Structure 1
Amino acid sequence: MRAVRFGEYGGPEVLRTVEIEVPEPGPGQVSVDVAYAGVNFADHKARLEGYRVPQLPFVPGLEVSGRIRALGPGVEGLSVGQEVAALTEGGAYAEVAVANVAVVFPLAAGTDLRTAASLPTVLPTAYALLHSVGRLREGETVLVQGAAGGVGTVTGQLAREAGAGRVVGVVSSGAKAEYARKYGYDDVVLADGFGAAVRELTGGRGVDLALDPIGGDVLRETLDTLAVFGRLVSFGNASSAPAWQVGQPELYPGGRSVAGFSILTLAQTAPEELRALAERAFAVPGVELPVTGEFALSDAAEAHRTLASRTSTGKLLLRITP
């Protein structure tokens, strides 16, 4: 089968289209004939610096849509040929991928494979950030870093649906600001100097819940935007900054708190909890995530260049075998 993999770390040019053996599902797994694969920032970090890469060569990709090809031993409740979306632990940039049954989701009637590929990581992550970890309450103010990205696009809509009083997004350009305002955001500010802008927007009060996938200095500045009893949820380290620390001096004065979330880690440590979370997320009606870029499997390197340029919005997909 065809797959895209890399044998060394580096720029998008290290991605190569190759022929490899078709993987077989093990106990509690299914294999999927892949229609579409999502392109995520975690794939970029895997290729660039080895994020969650157990060994080389490695086939990246964390989410797929397609049709079940084969069932592993002990799998019940699914059938060959059934259309599904699934999370993987890598291997999605291929004609066939393997996933653990706990994170394989049959598609609801009327859901097409292209749409389905855009949601397995994004929608449960956004839902968890607001509800399971962030514990959003009606009327609260929410701040979202990366508001024009995949998670940001969905988070703005979910926050609005949950009754947030004000939803503020942070983006890197004016074009992204215009995009984000279509998806639940009341206000959108530019990343440069966002802390001061947020304090001005809130009359100096700050925000009740802030969500940060960037880390480093951005996380520190985000922490400073919190109101009394505010909560910050870290869900990534796109900046690749050294591990951060926070303690009594930052938290005690305002009764602030910091939490963390990783859908990939939860898939490994508590897959049944992730499944329950995902089912709640998928049940929220009317959430949109526009696919703003679609690439052939052989053009995976170009998809990565687009992602790394930080100019893209919404979701990027690889088209495998629709």
Structure 2
Amino acid sequence: MRAVEFHEYGGPEVLKPVEAEPPEPGPGQVTVDAAYTGVNFADLKARAEGYRVTALPFRPGLEVSGRIRAVGEGVTGLRPGQDVVALVDGGAYAEVVAADAATVFPLPRGLDLRTAAALPTVLPTAHALIHEVGRLRAGETVLVHGAAGGVGTVAGQLARAAGAGAVYGVVSSPAKADHARRHGYDEVFTTAGFPADVLRATGGRGVDLILDPVGGDTLRRGLDALAVFGRLVSFGNASGAEPWQVGQPELYARGRSVAGFSVLGLAQSAPEALRRVAERAFRTVTDGGVRLPVTAEFPLARAAEAHRLLGGRTSTGKLLLRTDG
């Protein structure tokens, strides 16, 4: 089978097409003949920094759509020939992908494999950020960093559907603002001035919920944009900054709180909880409440081009790799 791996850390050029033996499913696993694979920022961090890489060579990729090829011992409820989407902890840049059955889902009703490939990381993450972790209540205000990206595109729509009083976004450049506004955002700010912009937009009150995949200085400045009793949910560290600790001086006086979320962490620690979140999240797409646009796709062998586009911070929506080219 064809796959894409890297044997050293570096830029997109270290991604190399290879020929490999297709995996066989172990106990509790299935293998999937891949149709499409999602491209995520975590893939770029794995390639450049070794994020979640256990050994080299390494095959990136966290989400895949396709047809079940084989099922391993002990797997129930899934069968060969069934169309599915799956969340995996690496290995999806390939024509055949092994996945734990606990994070394999039948293709949601009414969706094709291309659209479904954009779901496994983005939809559960956005749903958990808004509902399970962020606990947004009707009338509250939300600020989402990376508002034009995959998670941000969905989070704006979910916040609007949940009855948010106002939904604000932060993007890295003015060129991305129109995309965010088309997906649920009332106002969109750029990174440099977002705390002041938030305070201006809210009459000095601040927002009730901030969703932050950036970390570092962005997270620190976000605390100043929180209202009394506001919550900040960290779900990434795209900045690459050293972990930052928050404590009594920043939180106590105004009753603020900070929480965190990782879809991969939940998949490992509590897969049944992830399954429940994912099923609720997928229904928002099949019911027509959420749209996740696929804005670019590349043949598997051209994965490096997808990494360049995503790494250049000019893309919006979701990027995919397809295995038929």
Do residues 296 (structure 1) and 299 (structure 2) align?
A: yes
**1:172 deviation in Å?**
1.2
For the Cα contact (< 8 Å) 1:34–1:66, is it kept in 2?
yes
Q: What is the rounded CA distance, in whole Å, between the counterparts of 1:197 and 1:110 in structure 2? A: 40
Match of 2:322 in 1: 319
Q: How does 1:1-322 map to 2 (within 5 A)?
A: 1-284=1-284, 285-286=287-288, 287-321=290-324
SS, match of residue 193 in structure 1: helix
| Residues 68-113 of structure 1 deviation map (CA, whole Å, 9 limit, x = unaligned) | 0000100011111100000011000000001111110101332100
Q: Which amino acid aligns with 2:3?
A: A
1:321 deviates by 3.4
Q: Which deviates more from structure 2 when the two are superposed, residues 284-293 or residues 129-138?
A: 284-293
**Using the alignment, how far apart are the partners of 2:220 and 2:108 within structure 1?**
41
Q: Deviations over 1:9-52 (max 9, x none)?
A: 00000000001111111111100000000000000000000000
The one-letter amino acid of 2:318's match is K
Q: Do the aligned residues in 2 keep the contact of 1:85 with 1:106 (CA within 8 Å)?
A: yes
Structure-2 separation of matches of 1:64 and 1:245: 35
In 1, Cα distance between equivalents of 2:106 and 2:113 = 11
**Paired residue secondary structure (1:192):** helix
SS in 2 for 1:276: helix
| TM-score (norm: length of structure 2) | 0.98
Partner amino acid for 2:51?
A: Y
Return the offset for 1:280.
1.0
SS in 2 for 1:34: strand
Q: Structure 1 length as normaliser, TM-score?
A: 0.99
Structure 2 residue ranges without an equivalent (≥5): none
Q: Secondary structure at the match of 1:313?
A: coil
Relative to structure 2, which stretch is displaced further, 64-73 or 282-291? 282-291
- Structure 1 unaligned residues grouped into runs of 5+: none
Query: Which consecutive aligned stretches of 4+ in structure 1 deviate over 2 angstroms post-superposition?
Result: none
CA contact (8 A) 2:138 2:165 kept: yes
Q: Number of aligned pairs?
A: 322
1:109 aligned partner, one-letter code: R
- Percent sequence identity is 73
